Amino acid sequence: MITNLHIENFKSLADFDLPPNGLRLGEFTCLIGLNGSGKSTLLQAFDFLGQLAIGRMGEWLGQRGWKKSELACNLGKRSPIIKFQMVFHFDESDDVKWIGHFNTTLLRCTYELIEKNGAKLLEVNEGRLIVAKMDQRSPQVIEKSDLAYEGSVLSILQLKDAHSDVSRVKEVSQSLKSLELLSPHLLRKRATGADDIGVGGEKLAPFLDQLTGESHSQLQDRLREFYPHLEKWIVKGYRFGWKGLRVWENYSPGSVVDAAHLNDGMLRVIAILAQAYSRHKVLLFDEIENGVNPELVEKLVKSLMDLGENGKQVIVTTHSPMILNYIPDDVAREAVILLYKPADGRTRCVRFFDLPETQLKLRALGPGEVFVDTKLEDLVAHLPANHSKP
């Protein structure tokens, strides 16, 4: 699990800590804030860090349609270096920190450090790689060469050479999954073989096709709780390996809907629920309420919480008071984080229910009601520019 993120110079995240003030993230986090406060940017930052561990940064930029020069913060003095520190907590063991300096021109980290309790498990500095041997405390230089890769050295590291905590940092980072661009248009499209859904939901049909029989029927049962008229779905194969989703609904016997005509809400809910069966350990969803009926929001929030209980870490953004209302008060106190931008344009954050005004209201109202009853513009106007500093 990721407990903390510090990032500098990534778009509007000029000097940003999640959560603020040395607190720790839990299994479920809900980001709120005005338009442009940096919620999507934060999900992009997580996706960026996950991609570092995979490598191929040029490809990642291409998929998003971004130029490398657009990654760095354009407020104030320009620097090509994005600095980050992610803290991981594995089982009952001590925290492991992954620190890096990513050069946006070279598209790779020129400095990296993974440490636990002050012991270096991996270090990259000036092209030199130092890795602690499997389960040994004192590191040894095992490689010194012109290393060629994009992103992080983790992307090319042979796990057999690495300390188990380094392997776990790599594994969790690579298993970050951002579905921040989930679009019905892409969810609907036929696609060829893939064991994963893309950032926009593309390749849903091939992903569903490779689920085991048990996962398939569990997922269908869960979806029926949302849409009782759903009878079943199949993934239909077409020529040259193309696959498409077909859904049977029980309005009249045998009514079949091709994904091309399936409703947007159901497609989004399928994609979200299906993540329970993916290899991803950290899941990010932007504007989770999009396309979902208000009556279904309670079930959606419960499904997200269940993902957390099943060993996945979930981070969502929302503008919906209803989403907040179905989060239990004790979870909401820790999990709801307000992002805001002071006049300097740099994203900051604060736990929403740590503020005196909202804390007081939460005694009498539900989390969503407090959200409705609070004018965010006024609230953030009084928040200090350095609130996120420990």
* Contact residues: Mg ion, CB under 5 A: 39-40
11 part of the interface to ligand ATP, by CB under 6 A: yes
Question: Under the criterion CB under 6 A, does residue 40 sit at the interface with ligand ATP?
Answer: yes
Helices (H) and strands (E) in the chain, counts: 13, 18
Is residue 84 a contact partner of residue 51, using CB atoms and an 8 Å limit? Answer: no
Can you tell me the distance from the alpha carbon of 111 to that of 152, in angstroms, rounded to the nearest whole number? 9
Q: Tell me which residues in 72-131 interact with ligand ATP (CB under 6 A).
A: 73-75
Show the site string, 49-78: x = touches ligand ATP by CB under 6 A, - = not.
---------------------x--xxx---
The stretch near ligand ATP (CB under 6 A) out of 34-42, 248-256, 260-268, 306-314 is 34-42
Helix/strand/coil (H, E, C) string of 27-40?
A: CEEEEECCCCCCHH
Query: With binding defined as CB under 6 A, does residue 387 bind ligand ATP?
Result: no
We find the least distance from the C-beta atom of residue 38 to ligand ATP, in angstroms, to be: 4
Nearer of residues 40 and 320 to ligand ATP, judged by Cβ: 40
Residue 33 interacts with ligand ATP (CB under 6 A)?
yes
Minimum distance from CB of 286 to Mg ion (Å)? 6
CB of 35 to ligand ATP, least distance (A): 3
Contact 147, 112 (CB under 8 A): no
CB of 376 to ligand ATP, least distance (A): 11
Binding residues for ligand ATP, rule CB under 6 A, total 14
Least Å from the CB of residue 284 to ligand ATP: 12
12 touching ligand ATP, by CB under 6 A: yes
Q: Which is nearer to ligand ATP, 38 or 206 (CB)?
A: 38
Residue whose CB is less far from ligand ATP, 61 or 124: 61
Q: Do you know the residue count of the chain? A: 390
Is residue 320 near ligand ATP by the rule CB under 6 A? Answer: no
The distance of closest approach from Cβ of residue 287 to Mg ion in the complex, given in angstroms and rounded to an integer, is 7
Cβ contacts of 60 within 8 Å, gap of 6 or more: 48, 51, 54
User: In the set 4, 29, 37, 320, which binds ligand ATP (CB under 6 A)?
Assistant: 37
Q: Does residue number 348 form part of the binding site for ligand ATP (CB under 6 A)?
A: no
Determine phi and psi for 92, rounding to 5 degrees. Answer: -95, 5
Q: Which residues contact 129 (CB under 8 A, 6 or more apart)?
A: 122, 123, 141, 142, 143, 144, 145, 147, 153
Report how far residue 83's alpha carbon sits from residue 37's, in angstroms, rounded to the nearest whole number.
20
Q: In the chain, which ranges are continuous DSSP H helix?
A: 39-54, 57-64, 164-174, 184-188, 204-209, 213-226, 264-274, 297-309, 321-325, 329-335, 356-362, 367-372, 376-381
Q: What six digits make up the tokens of 261?
A: 């005509």
Rounded to 5°, angle at Cα 309 from 306 and 313: 95
Choose between 113 and 288: whose C-beta lies nearer to Mg ion: 288
Does 323 engage in binding with ligand ATP (CB under 6 A)?
no
Nearest to 348 by CA among 21, 121, 60: 21
Which of Mg ion, ligand ATP, none does residue 241 bind (CB under 5 to 8 Å by kind)? none
Select the residue interacting with ligand ATP from 6, 39, 348, 351 (CB under 6 A). Answer: 39
Look at residue 191 and give its three-state secondary structure. Answer: strand
Q: How far apart are the first and last CA of the chain?
A: 21
**Measured CA distances, 212 to 215, 217, 224, 277, 329 (Å):** 5, 9, 18, 9, 36
Provide the minimum distance between the beta carbon of 38 and Mg ion in the complex, in angstroms, as a whole number: 8
Residue 328 binds to ligand ATP (criterion: CB under 6 A): no
Nearer to Mg ion, 10 or 98 (CB): 10
Pick from 2, 52, 87, 88: nearest CA to 282? 2
Residue 384 contacts which entry, Mg ion, ligand ATP, none (Cβ below 5-8 A, type-dependent): none
Q: By CB under 6 A, name the binding residues for ligand ATP.
A: 11-12, 33, 35-41, 70, 73-75
